[in-house]
């Protein structure tokens, strides 16, 4: 399903709207679930920004590309006119209630498979199965490497036993998972030594960490040796390793999240055969495109960015298709909390990619069949191949 | 006033030229004044570039986006055809004389309020009041933190007394100012420790600096401890703190001027309530947009860049409107020396923003009233709010 | 020659295709030669990417902007339809044979002068004279600073004699050359101390390197002191110094190839009068544009990138024309191995620059004569001036 109906569809050269991906059910290879309960305006505003605080007095986080895109693309799904005022939108949203809003919006995203990161605030969110239900989608799990370590620590591991306990816990946690994920960018930054730490280094670092004792001190693993150990454990596990790169919330040091900082690590793991999935990447998506071209095991998406840049999604998508081979680019929404972000991810991606590829067809640079094939690859085919979703 | 008259104005969806901001008198929240006397060709060329030397033999700095934009937009204001040759332009400019040229060009910029950085070569320039006179504009002052310190040093402060003397001098210098400004990017680069230096560190650093003695050695404060102290003193003062980021003249190390390098500092001052204004930002304006989204006290502009990229202003403005909430983006020209730069700043901004926002309206992504409101916010409203200009 | 004929040519304001540079024979100021013998599919694919390995199973490196551009622009030169399938293209290419393919494609590039880097895998490639023959072009040589040093080492220099032997060898190797070139970015990264190393430092570093003994150990000079010495020796030689910056193959650390890291070095050599040519630059071409504006001796191109980004060439070319004065931007292909890359470099550059400049003329920002003049400067005139090609 796409959200406007008035367009004609006369071949790729004249495509508008989301035409090129209209019939493609997307694979969202990295997202989160949505909140179960009702949201007041303050709660909604905070889920519509990467800031951790409200906007300055007299201002609203919805005066943003993302806020405008919600009013443009989601308001009609609640029965309102496009661009409905934010107050009207939130009032109608409250009147319909979270179950109905989730149902309508998640269906509209038209996603075949959600791969869901379950490692962040999962208690407030629908389960992956509940997320997938409205549109008859499939759901798979993405396991956060750091969250598994934090559970191991809370469970009372010893310094000497940490590495083995972590390996066991990771194996158990990922028994039916599709991928693992690292938030190294948030906890330390991506500038790390390329090789895995030694067993002795891991033991010493685990000792330092575990001595902090239970509770908040253990709740946030930020030791660079252990973070690096986890990343290598993820590589050894053999599932695709998703790595947060580029912007995120205010916890992050943006200059340290440039994926180019991973170059040594990427070289070191190249022989293992484990796909490395660079998530988000903005504003370093051109750097990510270079890595995806020169390293056979490196992939990228511009999820999260597409939602946040709204009307600029077309421009960012175009930039992501410069150096990266087309078999290396994937779709994700990185939606968190709001079902609106699943709609925007899918709609802005479908429309943006159609505009970009359709423009190249119209200019004679690409053939229409090539464009249709690449649109399918990025929207679904590459993820099906890398994650074995057809197996 | 805008500079072409032949356009129709049929609502935002079909807007061209500077239509969306035609009736908005801008607030230029960071600029310099213009030279008082006549300029020969060499002098004009050097004010039309960030280089400190003439172009190579046989070349001219006016073979640049900025030079072409002067010929396009300023020549008609001197009674010449658009794109008049540079020689003709300079001849007519000389014939009219600086007073008349300044009058014509400064009026054309149609700026309500100039906030003027008075800390650089002020002796050669019109006073802020003289700058504002031609168009009945208001003028406010932006005080350079480093210039105040250099005056304190020349005045004979002791190491032990420097901090107190600086605090007193800053209070006096900013009694009626609208903002302070840091040129840390030029003197050290933006990679600084986030916390303020201790009193003992300031005393020791002041001692080292003051021992250099009067004259040129004191004329350029480049001690990183003192620069950091000044920045925190600026934050404590409570006025908005403008920070030069991104490109500038050849004194600067571009890689060290990425505003993302300020992340730790921005986090450290977040609780103070002082607005931090990231100036210019190019080519790191996307990084600045991220900072403006996640930190409630951070703002940005793409002044200076808009003038220098000329025909590419639309593209740069569009990029500045990705992650930044619309209540966080401001207009500035950063014009220095040439009244032409006040014209270009305003004209290229008005036209570029109209094209960007009008394009989104035409595509159905934004509503026309939203576009009009955002244009006003960026052109004037945000600056009025942050600097208290309506008070 | 340009590759489509159906366009009208009604002045710059309505220009399409490659019109603005149709009659300009380009100067390609940095390229490599093409392979002499036949290529199988695997060999062709590896020359069509910066990766050192084949694409993942089931994928092809030709599913890329570069691969699509080959099928679009080169297939007609082999008598096939635009967008012919890769299999058909490679079959026809094999049928025609390398001599005929080289002849057709090199002629189509319509290049007046090739400046050829002869320092990389030259044994597999046509000589510069053979490269130039098909279109009656001229050929000049670009000498790699590191390749000369490696020959000196293989020849048995002593630590104490290295500097003098290198100076002699460089003088001999460049007797008729047009430029020297540094691959510092590949061997160390561009973050170097700005000043030249002392004679004692060079002697010590040469001793360490030469003790590795002949063979592979000497074949790749990566000592940072010696690399810096070579760069200064290149500056002293007085020919334009080309420096690889930005992306390249997987040997390179992208974050270390930002040309802004050269700022201190550029300042240090500013007084020498030696032009510094920043090659490629992507994704740091905006940083390069800043350097080209503020330093009178700094130039740039976006060669290599234009080939690899294909349908996005127009966007990248536009970004390269923001801060850089127009007398500082040059054309190069950086083609290596495949004659297709000479075609793409020229065709994508001609079409992209025409679209960019023609768009500014159509919008009224530039005059048509200015656009024609700038197109010629970038396509040929600036290189003629800097390299003395008319002398």
Q: Which tens digits make up the pLDDT trace of B76-89? A: 999 999 999 999 99
Confidence of residue A16 (pLDDT cuts 50, 70, 90): low
β-strand partners of A300: A278, A329
Q: pLDDT for B354-391, tens place per residue? A: 999 999 999 999 999 999 999 999 999 999 999 999 85
Residue that is written with structure tokens 């988000």 in the block:
A280
Distance from CA of A351 to the nearest CA of B (A): 11
Distance from CA of B312 to the nearest CA of A (A): 15
Identify all chain C residues contacting B348, using CB atoms and an 8 Å cutoff: none
Q: Find residue A243's DSSP bridge partners.
A: A182, A278
Chains in contact with B, where contact means 3 or more Cβ–Cβ distances below 8 Å, are A, C
B309 contacts C366? CB cut-off 8 A: no
Nearby residues of A331 by Cβ (< 8 Å), 6 or more positions away: A26, A27, A28, A29, A301, A303, A345, A349, A378, A379, A380, A383
Contact criterion met (CB < 8 Å) for B366 and A253: no
Phi, psi of A170 (to 5 degrees): -65, -40
Chains with at least 3 CB pairs less than 8 angstroms from chain C: A, B
Task: Provide, as residue numbers in chain B, all residues whose Cβ is less than 8 Å from the Cβ of A5.
Answer: none
Most B CBs within 10 A among A4, A60, A81, A254, hence the mutation to make, goes to A254
Q: Does C363 touch chain B (CB under 8 A)?
A: yes
Q: Are C278 and C258 in contact (CB under 8 A)?
A: no
* CA-based nearest distance B224→chain A, Å: 21
Q: Calculate mean pLDDT across residues A326-334.
A: 98
Query: The whole model's pTM is what?
Result: 0.96
Kindly report the nearest CA distance between residue A289 and chain C, in angstroms.
10
Average pLDDT over residues A73-80: 98
Annotate chain C with three-state secondary structure: CCCCCCCCCCCHHHCCCCHHHCCCCEEEEEECCEECCCCCHHHHHHHCCCCCCCCCCCCCCCCCHHHHHHHHHHHHHHCCCCCCCHHHHHHHHHHHCHHHHHHHHHHHHCEEEEEEECCCCHHHECCHHHHHHHHCCEEEEEEEHHHHHHHHHHCCCCCCCHHHHHHHHHHHHCCCCCEEEECHHHHCCCCCCCCCCCHHHHHHHHHHHHCCCCCHHHHCCCCHHHHHHHHHHHHHHCCCEEEEECCCCCCCCHHHHCHHHHHHHHHHHHHHCCCEEEEECCCCHHHHHHHHHHCCCEEECCCCHHHHHHHHHHHHHHHHCCCCCHHHECCCCCCCECHHHHHHHHHHHHHHHHHHHHHHHHCCCCCHHHHHHHHHHHHHHHHHHHHCCCC
Smallest Cβ distance to C325: which of B61, B249, B311?
A: B61
pLDDT of the residue at B20 = 85
Kindly state whether A58 is in contact with chain B, defined as any CB-CB distance less than 8 angstroms.
yes
Confidence label for B1 from pLDDT (cuts 50, 70 and 90)? very low
pLDDT tier, A290 (very low <50, low <70, confident <90, very high otherwise): very high
Alpha carbon C223 to chain centroid distance? Answer: 24
User: Which stretches in chain C have pLDDT values below 70?
Assistant: 1-16, 216-217, 391
Q: Does A363 lie at the interface with C, CB-CB under 8 angstroms? A: yes
Mind telling me how many Å the CA of B261 is from chain A's nearest CA? 7
- Say if residue C42 is exposed, middle or buried (CB neighbours under 10 Å; 0-12, 13-18, 19+): exposed
Q: Do A258 and C253 touch (CB under 8 A)?
A: no
**B282 and A CB contact within 8 Å:** no
For chain A, say whether C25 makes contact (Cβ under 8 Å). no
Task: Say which range, A44-58, B214-228, C138-152, C275-289, has the weakest mean pLDDT.
Answer: B214-228
Judged by a CB distance cut-off of 8 A, whether residue B14 touches chain A is: no
Structure tokens belonging to residue B185? 């990017």
Give the pLDDT score at B55.
94
| Residues A134-143: tens digit of each pLDDT | 989 999 999 9
Domains belonging to chain C, first-starting first, are 11-38+106-386 (3.20.20.140), 40-96 (no CATH)
Disruptive mutation site among B321, B322, B355, B386 for chain A (greatest number of A CBs within 10 Å): B322
CA angle centred on A312, ends A308 and A315, rounded to 5°: 120
Q: What is the pLDDT of residue A17?
A: 76
pLDDT, chain B, mean: 94
- For residue B285, what is the DSSP state? H
In this model, does residue B220 exceed pLDDT 70? yes
Q: Select the residue of A56, A64, A254 nearest B290 (Cβ to Cβ).
A: A254
Q: In this predicted model, what pLDDT tens digit does every residue of B268-316 receive, in sequence order? A: 999 999 999 999 999 999 999 999 999 999 999 999 999 999 999 999 9
* pLDDT class of A213 with cuts at 50, 70, 90: confident
Q: Do C263 and B283 touch (CB under 8 A)?
A: no
Give all strands of the β-sheet with C26-31 in edge-to-edge order: C26-31, C111-117, C138-144, C179-182, C241-245, C276-280, C298-300
The 3-class secondary structure across chain A, one letter per residue, is: CCCCCCCCCCCHHHCCCCHHHCCCCEEEEEECCEECCCCCHHHHHHHCCCCCCCCCCCCCCCCCHHHHHHHHHHHHHHCCCCCCCHHHHHHHHHHHCHHHHHHHHHHHHCEEEEEEECCCCHHHECCHHHHHHHHCCEEEEEEEHHHHHHHHHHCCCCCCCHHHHHHHHHHHHCCCCCEEEECHHHHCCCCCCCCCCCHHHHHHHHHHHHCCCCCHHHHCCCCHHHHHHHHHHHHHHCCCEEEEECCCCCCCCHHHHCHHHHHHHHHHHHHHCCCEEEEECCCCHHHHHHHHHHCCCEEEECCCHHHHHHHHHHHHHHHHCCCCCHHHEECCCCCCECHHHHHHHHHHHHHHHHHHHHHHHHCCCCCHHHHHHHHHHHHHHHHHHHHCCCC
Touching chains, A (3+ CB pairs < 8 A) = B, C
* CA-based nearest residue in chain B for residue C298: B56
CB contact under 8 A, C254 and A290: yes
Closest CA in chain C for residue B74: C365
Q: How confident is the model at residue B391, as a pLDDT? A: 53
Lowest mean pLDDT, pick from B13-17, B262-266, C75-79: B13-17
Minimal Cβ distance to B294: which of A51, A59, A316: A51
Q: What is the mean pLDDT of chain A?
A: 94
- Cβ proximity of A249 and A308 under 8 Å: no
Q: Is A83 on the interface with B (CB under 8 A)?
A: yes
For residues B264 and A319, give the distance between their C-alpha atoms in angstroms, rounded to a whole number. Answer: 29
**C361 CA to centre of own chain:** 29
Higher pLDDT, B19 or B366: B366
Question: Would you place residue B234 in the very low, low, confident or very high pLDDT band (cuts 50, 70, 90)?
Answer: very high
DSSP for B204-240, please give it: HHHHHHHTT-SSGGGSS---HHHHHHHHHHHHHH-S-
Nearest residue of B to residue A61, measured between CA atoms:
B325
Cβ within 8 Å, pair C261-B255: yes
Which of helix, strand or coil describes residue B383? helix
pLDDT attached to residue C14: 55
**From CA B107, how far away is CA B3, in angstroms rounded?**
12
- Dist. CA A162–CA A184, nearest whole Å: 19
**pLDDT for res A10:** 43
Q: C225 and C202 in contact (C-beta within 8 Å)?
A: yes
Measured N-to-C along each axis, helices B98-109 and B86-96 cross at an angle, to the nearest 10 degrees, of 110
Alpha-carbon span C67 to C60, nearest angstrom:
9
For residues A111 and A343, give the distance between their C-alpha atoms in angstroms, rounded to a whole number. Answer: 10
ipTM: 0.95
Q: What is the CA radius of gyration of chain C?
A: 21
What is the C-alpha R_g of chain A?
A: 21
Which is more confidently placed, B334 or A2? B334
Could you say which of A53, A249, A255 has the minimum Cβ distance to residue B260? A255
Name the residue among C261, C366, C385 with its Cβ closest to that of B58: C385
B164 touches C: beta carbon within 8 Å: no
- B139 pLDDT higher than 70: yes
């Amino acid at each position: 399903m796409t959200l406007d109906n008035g367009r004609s569809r006369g071949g790729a050269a004249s495509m508008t709207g989301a035409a090129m991906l209209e019939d493609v059910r997307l694979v969202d290879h990295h997202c989160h679930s949505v909140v179960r309960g009702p949201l007041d305006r303050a709660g909604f505003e905070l889920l519509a920004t990467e800031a951790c605080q409200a906007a300055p007095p007299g201002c609203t986080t919805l005066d943003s590309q993302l806020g405008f895109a919600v009013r443009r693309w989601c308001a009609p799904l609640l029965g309102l006119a496009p661009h409905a005022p934010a107050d009207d939108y939130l009032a109608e949203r409250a009147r319909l209630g979270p179950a109905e809003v989730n149902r309508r919006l998640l269906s509209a995203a038209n996603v075949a498979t959600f791969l869901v990161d379950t490692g962040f605030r999962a208690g407030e969110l629908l389960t992956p199965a509940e997320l997938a239900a409205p549109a008859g989608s499939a759901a798979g799990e993405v396991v956060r490497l750091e969250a598994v370590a934090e559970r191991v620590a809370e469970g009372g591991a010893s310094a000497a036993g940490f590495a083995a306990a972590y390996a066991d816990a990771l194996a158990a946690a990922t028994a039916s998972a599709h991928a693992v994920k690292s938030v190294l960018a948030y906890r330390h930054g991506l500038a790390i030594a390329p090789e895995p730490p030694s067993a002795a280094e891991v033991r010493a670092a685990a000792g330092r960490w575990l001595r902090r004792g239970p509770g908040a001190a253990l709740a946030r693993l930020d030791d660079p040796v252990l973070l690096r150990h986890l990343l290598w454990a993820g590589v050894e596990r053999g599932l695709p390793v998703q790595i947060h790169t580029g912007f995120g919330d205010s916890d992050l040091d943006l200059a340290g999240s440039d994926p180019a900082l991973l170059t040594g690590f990427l070289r070191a793991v190249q022989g293992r055969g484990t796909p490395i999935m660079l998530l988000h990447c903005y504003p370093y998506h051109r750097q990510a495109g270079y890595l995806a071209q020169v390293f056979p095991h490196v992939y990228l998406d511009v999820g999260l960015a597409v939602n946040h840049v709204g009307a600029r999604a077309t421009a960012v998508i175009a930039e992501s298709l410069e150096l990266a081979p087309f078999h290396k680019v994937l779709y994700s929404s990185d939606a968190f909390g709001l079902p609106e972000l699943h709609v925007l991810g899918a709609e802005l991606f479908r429309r943006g990619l159609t505009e970009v590829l359709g423009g190249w067809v119209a200019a004679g640079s690409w053939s229409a069949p090539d464009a249709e094939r690449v649109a399918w690859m990025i929207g679904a085919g590459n993820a099906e191949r890398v994650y074995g979703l057809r197996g």
